[in-house]
Amino acid sequence: MTLTEGMQAPDFELPSSTGEAIKLSDYRGQRVLIYFYPKDMTSACTQQACDFRDRHEEFQGLNTVILGISTDPMNRHDKFIAKYGLPFTLLSDEEHQVAEQYGVWQLKKLYGKEYMGIVRSTFLIDEEGKLLKEWSIVKVKGHIEAALEALKEL
């Protein structure tokens, strides 16, 4: 399935760093910024998480919840959160079902090897659960600023 702006974002339920299963629909009435990333504790993923951490209050001020999703298990998310003081929720999609729903589980290449994995992507969902904006194949540098700018323009 290909997601397009204005389309209802697929609802999901995943285990979270809060200890509870979280559904996207739990956040009706707020904007949700979902960012999919490949792996906890790697350099680009750590930079991205820390960038979101450092600007977290600005997102909150714009009525926006941040949810990070990777295929890492919860115990790894817990270590990632503790090590970097992340103030937002991380979700574990170990079976990559949600990544597939959002079209970010794709064939990747690294050092000549091919494998399936998450392509770094971000989705901005409105208060009714509709997709406002998508960023595909995200480059970490400048991404948080672009997301904040999109929110401010709403």
45 has catalytic annotation = yes
How far, in Å, CA of 129 to CA of 11, rounded? 8
Three state DSSP letters for 5-68: CCCECCCCEEEECCCCEEEHHHHCCCEEEEEECCCCCCHHHHHHHHHHHHCHHHHHHCCEEEEE
Catalytic entry in 45, 49, 99, 147: 45
Residues 101, 12 contacting (CB under 8 angstroms) = yes
Residues taking part in catalysis: 45
